[in-house]
Structure 1
Amino acid sequence: MKTTTSPDPQDRLLDALKAHPVWHHIQSHARESAALELRVVRQAPRRPSPGTLVLDLQADGVVVGWLTARGARAALSVSQNAHAQHAAATLSAVGGLLRSAGEQARLIEEQRAIVDHIADGLLVLGPGAVIRHINRTAARLLHLNPAKAIGKPLGALVDFRTVVESVFTTGQGYVDRELIIDSPSLNLHVVDTAVPIRDAQGHVVSVVNTVREIQRVRHLAQRISGSHARYRFEDIIGRSPALQQAVSDARKAARSSANVLLSGESGVGKEVFAQAIHNASPRREGAFIAINCAALPRDLIESELFGYVAGSFTGARREGRPGKFEAASGGTIFLDEIAELPLDVQAKLLRVLQEREVVRVGDTRGVPVDVRVITASNRDLRRMVDERLFREDLYYRCRVIEVALPPLRQRAQDIPLLAHHFLAKYAGLLDKPVFGFTEAALQALQAHDWPGNVRELENAIERAVNLSEQAEIDVPVLDLPRRHPTPPGAGADGGTGAQPLTLAEAEHAAIEAAIRHAGYNLTQASRLLGISKPTIYAKIRRYGIALERPLPGAAR
């Protein structure tokens, strides 16, 4: 196969020199005025004939060729020699200019290639926001033809109000300004930066404007902040038929983009299932954002979920803030304890699910979001709909696919597997030589009804590993039976002669009983106890009472 090689750069330079008008002028003048024959050659003659002068042609110190001079006589006259020397010097100077121009052209091409292949959009604007350069990404984002855009004002090419012109008048640039464009031809959400370029007198002569798609910014933020799901279906422990049915249903749900409702008692592992669904779905590379709706302050629920614009309320950040739905765009959002959302927020959530866009607090424009919604509740949402405590239309929107998770008491055969898993986990973390359970301990674990389900079992094993001094955990270390407050009308010793509870123990038991009676609805539990909701949260943290999801800072 015949191959071709690119010509040497010096050969290209010599060809350009021979084609230059200066060389033709020198050659013509030499023939007519000095009776001198001049030639430009690539290689110096090995044995130049008598009377032939050979001179180097240099370009910036690099020899690119040779000039041969031959007169009418065997020996060159003084004037012919001077003419040849002058011709060589002139050609060398022209060669240097050509080489410098070629280097500059090569550098410009390299820079243009770099600018065109960076992932961000880039524009260089002159006074009046006239486009001097626009790379491919910016042209794609703004729907512009790069060749036709050069030399025209940016504002004349787009159908929205641009903001970069102000940099020329104020001299102040800006960095990472969020820009939402919603025009007849564009629907764009970007992070915008403008850097002014000044001359020696300090006047702004041009502006470098870069734009980055918000989705790329979110993806980078998610990678850094770790907004991702850890659990997969392979991490779910258990072989019971009830659990395997739930896993099978969840795997089927993962293959679609439909909204999923996870139902089940507190502590059955709803967030683990939500993460597993996300990791098995086509959205696995996107963010996984989990929100405990019960833990959100009433006045901040909307701004946390949907975001807000600058000045929308007292204490708002000056530049505004995107909400959790925007942060989860391209991925999955998990709304835990959705039954705790107020009815007015339920209405706005319904609109997000229907329109696939959010409206930030204080704004009227919708921001498109591409997000998969998984909800969870430990309450009977159907009953709440009948009692007009939960919107029926939102219920059906959330419950496109429902996955019911069984309580631990319905899968007692899984308790030994889970217990050994948690034992290995906490023995490793605490570096304690605890390796198993006695037979009596395993029987006690399987006999317990576990109202707190898997979370309660995990807490019990963690406590036992901390307290155990033996290689095997025995029944006394598990401390499974729980004492309850003395019934009304009983004596100081409860009518049994048992040791009375301390005040703290009685309060702990009363709070747990109220929470269970209220179906883990903390608002209702606080009413039963006659205390405020912030107070019940503080006491939950103090006593380490297990909820559907642990509160920040709660003891285990």
Structure 2
Amino acid sequence: MSRLAEIRNTAQEIAEAITAVLGIDVEIVDEELSIVAGTGRYKEKIGEKEEEGNLDSEYTYGQALRTGEEYIIEDASSHPQYAARESELAEVCCPIRLHEEIIGLIGLVAFTEQQRHALLLNRKNLLAFSRQMAVLLASKVSETKMAGELKIIIETIREGIIAVDRYGNMTACNETAARLIGTTKEEAIGTSIFAILPFSSIREVLRTGEEYRDREEIYQTDTGGTFHFFTTIRPIFSKPLEEAVGDQQREIVGAVISLRDIADIKKLVYDMTEKEEGASFHEVLGTSKAIREVKDQASKVARSQSTVLITGESGTGKGLFARSIHYASDRKEHPFVTVNCGAIPDTLLESELFGYEPGAFTGANRTGKVGKFELANGGTLFLDEIGDLSFHLQVKLLHVLQHREIERIGGKRTIPIDVRIIAATHQDLEQMMEAGEFREDLYFRLHVIPLHIPPLRERQEDILPLLDYALHKYTRVINKSIYGFTEEALDCLKCYDWPGNIRELENAVEYAVNMENGDNITLDALPKRLRQAQKSPFSSLSLKKQLEAVEKEIIQTRLAQTGYSLQGKRDAARLLGISESTLYRRIRELRIEKQ
């Protein structure tokens, strides 16, 4: 379809206007000599090709399209090209120029002597008038082209875009916007925006002409539904600001509304600021029975929606377990959001968790803030160090767990949420409960599925795989070629009690990789505290472990004196002041072997 054919309705209106003013038949043809619009004898031929000539002929239309020149045929009968054209007496031909391109022409044709006389008498004025009409047609073609390009652009924009006139009637709407407001593009065009969003701020923008930028809005529909958007509304004026002399000449003629689904905004914020790397139970290293039991229990509850409470000393990997549970669950495609309840002051933690409305307090962001509960909607919220949560926030958290809804600070509306809670602590919540520092009802809400991660000192067999992992990790990060540990260094690492658990172990290996210049980590490269603990073997042990170590050494000393025979063990028991059965039990429990 030619460009003039795309505006055939406008072309026909112009043709009929010329005929009404001048009383002369008009035809408008495109660059292929197809009749796009016409009056009189040409009206029935719309859509057909011109009967005479082609683009390469000497026929006037062909010449005009090739050269872009205007032509006046005063006496058609004297032109051989017009001999076959019945009753045509005279003609004015005016090209339609779009930039440097000829896209068609306007022909004014006289079929009677009276028309011919009028045409020749006013030929200069007719040419000038035709030029104006040609400019108008070219302008309309350009406008249509721009509108088409704009439409394509609007459709490719991810945001919802709606244009309204001064009365709020929708004049443009892309697919995204139609989906967001629950309609189709076809139904939207011509409909009042206020019929769909009755309490929209669009009305205020159309009244004041003031832009409304990046505001969160919730619209209640007549049917009881809810639209939740992030909205920007820009007014459209009749003239650019630089062309307006006074306010009277710059009218508000409409507005453009940009709509973004709040769920998309939350996901974007999460992806940019909160998103953590995925995790799996394969990343929880260790082969001990204790850690295997915890991993097995965690993997069983991953697909559940129940609340999980992870306990364990600092550095045992509670966060890794929480992430692994999330990424093994049906919520893995949704956000995993972490909040450290002990790292944020109580005055700020409430707004972090629940968000706030615009102007909720002095210094609040003018657009309000989305809280972590909303960011985690559909996914998992990991509340680390839950024992540090204030009593006031414990009450609010309990409400969320019971009612599955939150209320922003300064807000009056409740926001439904679908969030799984995983909490973690290194503290004894039961003891805190007895002391009145932790709510009993909240504890039992959180304690639906308890997971306890044993400390590293209780799973000595996991130390070697953890050391190998940490060595591989930090040699790659620091870019060093270190292949293992000397026997002396390994003995020191295995004997250490690791009060800081896995975190302390990784830090120790990172330090050693930095300090070591050889191919293997030596004792001298280890942190000072580890080497000192080796010299004083009991210093890093718990009281129970220290007592067991002393007891083992005493029994071994007596057995070395009396021997490991039956009589020797009887004598050792007598010297130690314990029964033979007690001695045999302690030999078994302390794993005492013949020296």
TM-score (norm: length of structure 1): 0.70
Q: Deviations over 1:79-113 (max 9, x none)?
A: 97994772876983269788986775565455445
1:525 matched residue in structure 2: none
Structure 2 counterpart of 1:173, which letter? E
Query: Which of 190, 198, 208 does residue 170 from structure 1 map onto?
Result: 208
Whether 2:427 is the aligned partner of 1:379: answer yes
Unaligned segments of structure 1, at least 5 residues? 1-6, 29-37, 64-70, 485-497, 499-508, 514-556
SS of aligned partner of 1:434: coil
1:143 matched residue in structure 2: 182
Whether 2:248 is the aligned partner of 1:210: answer no
Correspondences of 1:507-522 after superposition (within 5 Å): none
Whether 2:297 is the aligned partner of 1:234: answer no
Percentage of pairs with the same residue:
35
2:563 matched residue in structure 1: none
What is the aligned-residue RMSD (CA, Å)?
Answer: 4.2
Query: Which of 299, 306, 316 does residue 258 from structure 1 map onto?
Result: 306
Q: Deviations over 1:494-528 (max 9, x none)?
A: xxxx9xxxxxxxxxx9xxx9xxxxxxxxxxxxxxx
Query: Which of 233, 243, 249 does residue 194 from structure 1 map onto?
Result: 233
Whether 2:463 is the aligned partner of 1:415: answer yes
What is the CA–CA distance in structure 1 between the aligned matches of 2:367 and 2:210, rounded to whole Å? Answer: 17
Are residues 393 and 181 of structure 1, via their aligned partners in 2, closer, same or farther at CA, if it must alter by over 3 Å? farther
Query: Which of 26, 34, 50 does residue 40 from structure 1 map onto?
Result: 50
Report the CA distance between 1:335 and its aligned residue: 0.6
Structure 1 counterpart of 2:451, which letter? V
Residue 310 of structure 2 contacts residue 424 of structure 2 at CA under 8 Å; is this kept in 1?
A: yes
1:434 matched residue in structure 2: 482
What is the CA–CA distance in structure 2 between the aligned matches of 1:78 and 1:43, rounded to whole Å? Answer: 12
SS of aligned partner of 1:256: coil
What is the CA–CA distance in structure 2 between the aligned matches of 1:277 and 1:221, rounded to whole Å? Answer: 23
Q: Which has the higher contact order (CA 8 A, sep 6+)?
A: 1
Whether 2:494 is the aligned partner of 1:446: answer yes
What is the CA–CA distance in structure 2 between the aligned matches of 1:313 and 1:57, rounded to whole Å? Answer: 75
What is the CA–CA distance in structure 1 between the aligned matches of 2:225 and 2:141, rounded to whole Å? Answer: 41
Are residues 187 and 480 of structure 1, via their aligned partners in 2, closer, same or farther at CA, if it must alter by over 3 Å? same
TM-score (norm: length of structure 2): 0.66
Residue 218 of structure 2 contacts residue 227 of structure 2 at CA under 8 Å; is this kept in 1?
A: yes
Residue 229 of structure 1 contacts residue 278 of structure 1 at CA under 8 Å; is this kept in 2?
A: no
Count of residue correspondences: 460
Q: Deviations over 1:114-160 (max 9, x none)?
A: 4345432222122233333333333333334654554454334434x
Q: Deviations over 1:173-205 (max 9, x none)?
A: 022112233566232322110112222233322
Are residues 393 and 377 of structure 1, via their aligned partners in 2, closer, same or farther at CA, if it must alter by over 3 Å? same
SS of aligned partner of 1:124: strand
Structure 2 counterpart of 1:162, which letter? S
Residue 34 of structure 2 contacts residue 49 of structure 2 at CA under 8 Å; is this kept in 1?
A: no
SS of aligned partner of 1:189: strand
What is the CA–CA distance in structure 1 between the aligned matches of 2:178 and 2:355, rounded to whole Å? Answer: 30
2:39 matched residue in structure 1: 22
Whether 2:324 is the aligned partner of 1:276: answer yes
Between 1:405-414 and 1:365-374, the stretch displaced more is 365-374
Correspondences of 1:317-336 after superposition (within 5 Å): 317-336=365-384
1:347 matched residue in structure 2: 395
Are residues 9 and 472 of structure 1, via their aligned partners in 2, closer, same or farther at CA, if it must alter by over 3 Å? same
SS of aligned partner of 2:202: coil
Are residues 325 and 110 of structure 1, via their aligned partners in 2, closer, same or farther at CA, if it must alter by over 3 Å? same
Q: Deviations over 1:230-253 (max 9, x none)?
A: 433332222223222222222233
Flag the structure with larger Rg: 2
Are residues 383 and 9 of structure 1, via their aligned partners in 2, closer, same or farther at CA, if it must alter by over 3 Å? same
Structure 2 counterpart of 1:248, which letter? D
Residue 264 of structure 1 contacts residue 378 of structure 1 at CA under 8 Å; is this kept in 2?
A: yes
Whether 2:462 is the aligned partner of 1:403: answer no
1:364 matched residue in structure 2: 412
Report the CA distance between 1:452 and its aligned residue: 1.6
Are residues 92 and 441 of structure 1, via their aligned partners in 2, closer, same or farther at CA, if it must alter by over 3 Å? same
Are residues 379 and 62 of structure 1, via their aligned partners in 2, closer, same or farther at CA, if it must alter by over 3 Å? farther
1:504 matched residue in structure 2: none
Residue 164 of structure 2 contacts residue 170 of structure 2 at CA under 8 Å; is this kept in 1?
A: yes
Are residues 251 and 207 of structure 1, via their aligned partners in 2, closer, same or farther at CA, if it must alter by over 3 Å? same
Report the CA distance between 1:338 and its aligned residue: 0.5
Residue 58 of structure 1 contacts residue 92 of structure 1 at CA under 8 Å; is this kept in 2?
A: no
Are residues 173 and 291 of structure 1, via their aligned partners in 2, closer, same or farther at CA, if it must alter by over 3 Å? same
Structure 2 counterpart of 1:177, which letter? R
Q: Deviations over 1:229-286 (max 9, x none)?
A: 3433332222223222222222233333332222222211011112222333343343
Report the CA distance between 1:336 and its aligned residue: 0.5
Correspondences of 1:451-466 after superposition (within 5 Å): 451-466=499-514
Residue 448 of structure 1 contacts residue 480 of structure 1 at CA under 8 Å; is this kept in 2?
A: no
What is the CA–CA distance in structure 1 between the aligned matches of 2:40 and 2:225, rounded to whole Å? Answer: 56
Whether 2:173 is the aligned partner of 1:134: answer yes
What is the CA–CA distance in structure 1 between the aligned matches of 2:282 and 2:502, rounded to whole Å? Answer: 17
1:551 matched residue in structure 2: none
What is the CA–CA distance in structure 2 between the aligned matches of 1:469 and 1:374, rounded to whole Å? Answer: 43
What is the CA–CA distance in structure 1 between the aligned matches of 2:300 and 2:89, rounded to whole Å? Answer: 88
1:92 matched residue in structure 2: 105
1:475 matched residue in structure 2: 523
SS of aligned partner of 2:305: coil
1:536 matched residue in structure 2: none
What is the CA–CA distance in structure 1 between the aligned matches of 2:362 and 2:525, rounded to whole Å? Answer: 52
Residue 55 of structure 2 contacts residue 62 of structure 2 at CA under 8 Å; is this kept in 1?
A: no
SS of aligned partner of 2:471: helix
Structure 2 counterpart of 1:342, which letter? S
Structure 1 counterpart of 2:159, which letter? D
Whether 2:194 is the aligned partner of 1:155: answer yes
Residue 489 of structure 2 contacts residue 521 of structure 2 at CA under 8 Å; is this kept in 1?
A: yes
Structure 1 counterpart of 2:450, which letter? E
